[in-house]
Amino acid sequence: MASNGKPIRNYWLTRTSAAVRNGGLRRRDIPPGEVLCFHCPAKCCQYIALPIDRPRTWEGFDTVRWFLLHERTAVFVDNGQWYLLVYLTCKELRSDGRCGIYTRRPKICRDYETDICEFEENAVYDQFFETAEQLEEYAEAILGPRSGGSIRSPRPDPLKIVETAEEPVAGKVTRPGCQV
């Protein structure tokens, strides 16, 4: 699916959704002069987020559903823009958390500065889909049932009413498992 003609930038440079403090380190906790990235699990090197067209038809939703059928994918919506999120660690991220090609890192990484990065934030999104089933349910709510039948499970038959047990006979003691 095309990225709707916009240049791809690091999602966090464009995000508008509310931020949630993650309870971890804050920028102000880092001693002056220290590099913020040395105190971070390299959050920004562990995923890619690509803008995608907003699905408006069953065919469009079917394409997004295909994304979600793959491992390590999710789809989120921020301020009306849909994104494909892929949880992938950059091959150049070293085991010590540093960039293995720092002086040759891509522009998208160079443009991402620590004063606006996700170091102390997690995001909340307008919508977040982790499974194909979640997306289908949303699509059905927007578009109505797909021709060929709903994806929802049929309504189950009501449970049978349990018959009333026999009235106990006076003087006779019964215990579970007792045959006399």
**Can you give the binding site for ligand SF4, defined by CB under 6 A?**
36-37, 40, 42-45, 90, 92-93, 99, 101, 105-106, 109, 112, 114, 117-119
**88 or 151: whose CB is closer to ligand SF4?**
88
Element (H or E) spanning 142, and its range?
helix 132-143
Residue owning tokens 């049978």: 160
Structural tokens at position 85: 């999120």
Strand 127-129 to 73-78 pairing: antiparallel
As measured in angstroms, the least distance from the Cβ of 115 to ligand SF4 is: 9
Provide the sign of the torsion angle of the four alpha carbons 149, 150, 153, 158, taken in this order: negative
Strand 19-21 to 121-123 pairing: antiparallel
**105 or 146: whose CB is closer to ligand SF4?**
105
Q: For residue 123, with 0-12 CB atoms within 10 Å meaning exposed, 13-18 middle and 19 or more buried, which class applies?
A: middle
**30 or 143: whose CB is closer to ligand SF4?**
30
As measured in angstroms, the least distance from the Cβ of 145 to ligand SF4 is: 42
As measured in angstroms, the least distance from the Cβ of 147 to ligand SF4 is: 43
**64 or 85: whose CB is closer to ligand SF4?**
85
**DSSP three-state, residue 150:** coil
As measured in angstroms, the least distance from the Cβ of 119 to ligand SF4 is: 4
Residue whose C-alpha is closest to residue 75's, from 4, 121, 134, 119:
134
**38 or 66: whose CB is closer to ligand SF4?**
38
Residue owning tokens 């994918």: 73
As measured in angstroms, the least distance from the Cβ of 37 to ligand SF4 is: 3
